[in-house]
């Protein structure tokens, strides 16, 4: 058996094979990266493409309209509708505000009242903050050691424009002692009129709404004392 003698400076055969495999693997990786890049670009173009439109008539019949033939007025209307809160959103936002503003517990009033004010527009927030401070509302409720159970009986969307919504809610409120769970309660019913403004959705306004006017009117007077209507939390 004779050994094959390689020319001086030639690499062993095994190293040559490794080098070829490494080069092939690099080409495969480069091809996969290029394919992924093309896929991402194609997906981005599809995502940017505005969808076609289905116009629903009052009787429920839908008409398909391609975006290419939709006129400017229709496109502007659809863009405005994207910012409009749904009825479900209005109910959720209204219910959350009512619970924060009217379901008063002496132990949590600081946080609840702060969160309720945060859902108001700047002018209404300033007005209610000033009234609450002047009447020492928070201090009074803390000393009273009360807990409140609030039942939202109904929420009605009375009227709406592109920027404002008039909402009416009827609530039942039961006030009792925070120290005795089974103590007697003072019950009252309230009619709450709210004007809600449509605002851009942000982390502070995820529902795209804020309260700009609030009127509270007793339906059935409570047997206990309460702050004057219109300023009570």
Question: Residue 72's pLDDT is what?
Answer: 66
- What mean pLDDT is predicted for residues 215-229? 62
Note the pLDDT tens digit of each residue in 5-59. Answer: 555 555 555 555 555 665 666 666 766 777 777 777 666 665 555 555 555 555 5
Is residue 216 situated within a structural domain?
yes
Q: Are residues 33 and 93 in the same domain?
A: no
Is residue 171 situated within a structural domain?
yes
Q: Are residues 126 and 38 in the same domain?
A: no
Q: What band does 211 get if pLDDT is binned at 50, 70 and 90? A: very high
**pLDDT > 50? residue 224:** no
Give the domain CATH number at 204.
3.10.450.230
Q: Are residues 121 and 31 in the same domain?
A: no
d(CA 92, CA 207): 9
User: In whole numbers, what is the pLDDT of the chain averaged over residues?
Assistant: 77
Question: Residue 119's pLDDT is what?
Answer: 96
**Contact call for residues 196 and 215 (beta carbons, < 8 A):** no
Q: Which residue has the higher pLDDT, 181 or 128?
A: 128
Note the pLDDT tens digit of each residue in 110-142. Answer: 899 999 999 999 999 999 999 989 988 888 888
Among 103, 178, 106, residue whose Cα is nearest residue 138: 106
d(CA 70, CA 53): 8
Question: Residue 14's pLDDT is what?
Answer: 58
Q: Are residues 101 and 213 in the same domain?
A: yes
**Contact call for residues 208 and 92 (beta carbons, < 8 A):** no
The domain containing residue 143 runs over which residues? 85-220
Which stretch of 35-39, 60-64, 76-80, 92-96 has the lowest confidence by average pLDDT?
Answer: 60-64
**pLDDT > 70? residue 232:** no
Question: Residue 164's pLDDT is what?
Answer: 95
Q: Are residues 139 and 32 in the same domain?
A: no
The set of residues, in sequence order, having a beta carbon less than 8 Å from that of 74 and lying 6+ positions away, is: 53, 55, 65
Q: Are residues 94 and 198 in the same domain?
A: yes
Question: Residue 228's pLDDT is what?
Answer: 44
Q: Are residues 92 and 194 in the same domain?
A: yes
Q: Are residues 39 and 106 in the same domain?
A: no
Is residue 53 situated within a structural domain?
no
Question: Residue 45's pLDDT is what?
Answer: 62
Is residue 71 situated within a structural domain?
no
Note the pLDDT tens digit of each residue in 150-175. Answer: 999 999 999 999 899 999 999 999 88
Return the structure tokens found at 57: 């008539």
Q: Are residues 33 and 123 in the same domain?
A: no
Question: Residue 206's pLDDT is what?
Answer: 87
Q: Are residues 133 and 194 in the same domain?
A: yes
Is residue 4 situated within a structural domain?
no
Distances in whole angstroms, Cα of residue 62 to Cα of each of 56, 87, 188, 192: 4, 21, 47, 37
Is residue 67 situated within a structural domain?
no
Is residue 59 situated within a structural domain?
no
Q: Are residues 91 and 178 in the same domain?
A: yes
64: which strand partners? 54
- What mean pLDDT is predicted for residues 89-113? 91
**pLDDT > 70? residue 86:** yes
Q: Are residues 126 and 208 in the same domain?
A: yes
Q: What band does 222 get if pLDDT is binned at 50, 70 and 90? A: very low
190: which strand partners? 171, 218
The total number of structural domains in the chain stands at 2
Is residue 57 situated within a structural domain?
no
For the chain, where are the alpha helices, taking DSSP H only? 13-48, 72-82, 87-102, 109-118, 122-134, 137-144
């Amino acid at each position: 058996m004779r050994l094959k003698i390689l020319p001086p400076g030639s690499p062993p055969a095994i190293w040559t094979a490794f080098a070829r495999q490494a080069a092939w693997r690099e080409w495969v990786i480069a091809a996969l990266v290029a394919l992924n890049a093309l896929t991402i670009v194609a997906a981005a173009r599809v995502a940017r493409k505005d969808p076609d439109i289905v116009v629903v008539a009052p009787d429920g019949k839908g008409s398909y309209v391609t975006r290419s033939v939709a006129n400017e007025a229709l496109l502007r209307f659809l863009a405005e509708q994207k910012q409009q809160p749904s009825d479900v959103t209005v109910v959720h936002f209204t219910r959350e505000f009512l619970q924060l503003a009217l379901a008063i517990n002496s132990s949590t009033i600081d946080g609840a009242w702060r969160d309720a004010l945060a859902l108001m527009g700047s002018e209404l927030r300033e007005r209610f903050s000033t009234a609450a401070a002047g009447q020492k509302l928070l201090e009074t409720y803390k000393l009273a050691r009360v807990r409140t159970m609030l039942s939202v009986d109904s929420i009605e969307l009375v009227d709406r424009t592109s920027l404002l919504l008039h909402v009416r809610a009827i609530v039942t409120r039961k006030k009792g002692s925070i120290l005795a769970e089974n103590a007697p309660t003072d019950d009252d019913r309230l009619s709450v009129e709210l004007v809600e403004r449509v605002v851009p959705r942000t982390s502070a306004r995820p529902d795209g709404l804020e309260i700009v006017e609030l009127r509270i009117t007793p339906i059935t007077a409570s047997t206990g004392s309460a702050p004057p209507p219109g300023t009570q939390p």
